[in-house]
C-alpha cells in the first residue's frame, strides 16, 4: 500500500488474499481478489450465454447477440483453420470470451462504489501466460501428433535454398518459440498500459484539485483525457481479445494444416 | 510492478483458480452451450433454405401446370380446327360427288334425248323421202304418163335432196 494521499497506479494490479486457502505442491492457494474477479467473469459469461439459450426460431435481441458472438468465433476458425478447425472452436471461444469479459469488466467504473476494487484479470502475467501456454501446448501436441517429425518442416518455408536451410530453420524455430511469450505479453501489456495511463491522469486530477486555483484547468483537461483514453481502452479490450483468439487459431492452423 | 514482485507467491493460486474457471467455461459453456446455439442458428438457416426451396418447388409446379394448361388448350384448339377442316373437306367431297352424279344423270338424259331426236329426225327424213318419192312417181305418171318405178323415183328424190 502506498502512503496515504498518494495514488499508486500499480496498486490496482496487486493480488490480495481474501481468505487463506490450502497448500498445494508447496504453494499457498488462497482465494484472492484475482480469483474472485475470475469467478465474476465466469458468472457474467454464464448469464450472457443463458440469455442466448432460448433457442427460438425468431431470435430476440439477446439471442441475436449471443448467436452473433458464437458466429464470430466460428468465423475466425473457419477462415483461419478451415473445416478441420471445428474441434478447436471450444478453446478459441473460451479464450475469446474469457479475455473479452475480463478486459471489459476491468474497464467498468465499479471503483466509484466504496469498498469495491475492480481487478483486471488479464492484467496479470500469470493469467495471460497460462492462457498462452495452453494455446501453445495445443499447437505442439496437435503438430507432433498429426505430423510427427515432419512438423519441423514448418520451420523451413517453401523455396528456401539448401544452403540457407540451417540458418532459416534456426530463425523460424526462434520465432516459433517466441510465440507464446508474444501472445501473453501483448495482452498483458495492452491491459496494463491503459489502466496505468488512466490512473496516472486520475492522480493528476486529485493533485490539481488539491493545489486549487488555476490548476482546475489541468484537472478538467485530465478528466477529458481520461474519458478519451477510456473509450480507446474499450476498443483495445475488444481488439486484444480478438487478436488473442485470432493468433491462437492461426498458430493452430500451422499445426493442423502443415503448409 | 506487482505482477513481477508477487509472481513467485501468487502464481500457484492464480494458475489454480484460472484453470478451474477456464475449465468450467471450456466444458460447461464452450463445449455444452455453444454447440446448441450453433445448432439453433444452423436449424434456422436450414429452415429458411428449406422454405425457400419449397416455395421454389411450388412456383415451378404452378408454372408447369400453366404450361400443361396452355398445351392442352392449344391441343384442343388444334383439334377443333382439324375437325372443322375435316368436316369441310368431307362436305366438299360429298358435294362434288353429288354434282358429278347429277352431271352424269343430266348428261345421260341429254344423250338419250339427243339420240331420240336423231332417230326421230332420221325417221322423219325417211318418211319425207318416201312421201316425196311417191309424190314424184305420181307427178311423173300424171305429167308424162310414163311409168316410173318406185326404185327410180326414190333414187331421184335422194339425188334431189
Record: contact B10-A126, CB cut-off 8 A: yes
**A1, pLDDT greater than 50:** no
pLDDT tens-digit readout, A130-164: 999 999 999 989 888 888 878 787 787 777 777 88
CA nearest to A10 within chain B: B1
pLDDT tens-digit readout, B50-94: 999 999 999 999 999 999 999 999 999 999 999 999 999 999 999
Ranges of H-type helices in chain B: 2-5, 7-23, 33-144, 150-160
3-state secondary structure of A30: strand
**From B6, B21, B28, residue closest to A15, measured CB to CB:** B6
pLDDT tens-digit readout, A36-82: 889 999 999 999 888 878 777 778 888 888 888 999 998 999 998 88
CA nearest to A39 within chain B: B21
The rounded distance, in Å, linking the Cα atoms of B34 and B30 is 5
**A96, pLDDT greater than 80:** yes
Higher pLDDT, A9 or A233: A233
**∠ CA A60-A64-A65 to the nearest 5 degrees?**
120
Nearest to A88 by CA among A207, A254, A253: A253
Q: Which of residues 5-34 of A touch B (CB under 8 A)?
A: 10-11, 13-15, 17, 21, 24-25, 27-32, 34
Confirm whether pTM is higher than 0.80. Answer: no
pLDDT tens-digit readout, A229-245: 999 999 999 999 999 99
The rounded distance, in Å, linking the Cα atoms of B24 and B31 is 10
Whether the CB of A98 is below 8 Å from some CB of chain B: the reply is yes
Strand partners, A31: A19
**From A14, A28, A123, residue closest to B13, measured CB to CB:** A28
Average pLDDT, chain A: 85
pLDDT in the model for residue A49:
87
Contact A156, B35 (CB under 8 A): no
Amino acid at each position: 500500500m502506498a502512503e496515504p494521499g498518494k495514488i499508486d497506479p500499480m496498486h490496482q494490479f496487486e493480488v490480495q488474499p481474501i481468505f487463506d486457502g490450502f497448500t498445494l505442491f508447496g504453494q499457498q492457494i488462497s482465494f484472492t481478489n484475482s480469483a474472485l474477479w475470475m469467478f465474476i467473469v465466469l458468472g457474467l459469461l454464464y448469464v450472457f450465454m443463458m440469455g442466448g439459450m432460448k433457442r427460438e426460431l425468431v431470435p430476440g435481441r439477446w439471442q441475436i447477440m449471443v448467436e452473433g458472438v458464437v458466429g464470430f468465433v466460428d468465423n475466425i476458425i473457419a477462415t483461419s483453420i478451415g473445416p478441420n478447425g471445428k474441434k478447436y472452436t471450444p478453446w478459441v471461444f473460451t479464450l475469446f470470451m474469457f479475455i473479452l469479459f475480463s478486459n471489459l469488466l476491468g474497464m467498468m467504473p465499479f471503483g466509484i462504489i466504496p469498498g469495491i476494487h475492480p481487478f483486471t484479470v488479464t492484467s496479470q502475467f500469470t493469467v495471460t501466460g497460462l492462457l498462452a501456454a495452453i494455446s501453445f501446448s495445443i499447437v505442439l501436441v496437435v503438430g507432433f501428433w498429426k505430423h510427427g517429425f515432419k512438423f519441423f518442416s514448418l520451420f523451413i518455408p517453401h523455396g528456401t535454398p539448401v544452403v540457407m536451410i540451417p540458418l532459416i530453420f534456426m530463425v523460424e524455430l526462434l520465432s516459433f518459440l517466441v510465440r507464446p511469450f508474444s501472445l501473453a505479453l501483448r495482452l498483458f501489456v495492452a491491459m496494463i498500459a491503459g489502466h496505468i495511463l488512466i490512473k496516472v491522469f486520475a492522480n493528476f486530477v486529485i493533485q490539481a484539485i488539491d493545489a486549487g486555483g488555476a490548476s482546475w484547468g489541468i484537472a478538467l483537461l485530465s478528466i477529458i483525457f481520461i474519458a478519451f483514453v477510456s473509450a480507446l481502452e474499450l476498443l483495445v479490450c475488444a481488439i486484444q481479445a480478438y487478436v488473442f483468439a485470432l493468433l491462437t487459431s492461426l498458430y493452430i492452423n500451422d499445426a493442423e494444416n502443415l503448409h | 510492478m506487482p505482477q513481477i514482485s508477487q509472481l513467485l507467491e501468487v502464481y500457484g493460486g492464480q494458475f489454480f483458480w484460472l484453470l478451474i474457471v477456464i475449465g468450467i467455461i471450456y466444458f460447461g459453456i464452450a463445449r455444452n452451450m455453444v454447440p446448441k446455439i450453433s445448432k439453433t442458428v444452423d436449424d434456422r438457416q436450414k429452415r429458411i433454405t428449406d422454405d425457400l426451396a419449397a416455395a421454389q418447388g411450388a412456383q415451378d409446379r404452378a408454372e408447369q401446370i400453366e404450361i400443361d394448361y396452355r398445351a392442352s388448350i392449344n391441343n384442343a384448339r388444334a383439334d377443333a380446327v382439324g375437325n372443322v377442316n375435316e368436316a369441310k373437306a368431307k362436305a366438299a367431297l360429298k358435294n362434288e360427288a353429288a354434282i358429278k352424279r347429277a352431271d352424269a344423270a343430266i348428261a345421260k338424259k341429254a344423250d338419250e334425248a339427243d339420240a331420240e331426236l336423231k332417230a326421230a329426225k332420221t325417221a322423219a327424213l325417211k318418211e319425207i323421202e318416201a312421201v316425196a318419192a311417191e309424190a314424184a312417181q305420181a307427178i311423173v305418171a300424171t305429167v308424162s304418163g310414163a311409168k316410173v318405178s318406185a326404185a327410180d323415183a326414190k333414187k331421184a328424190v335422194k339425188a334431189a335432196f
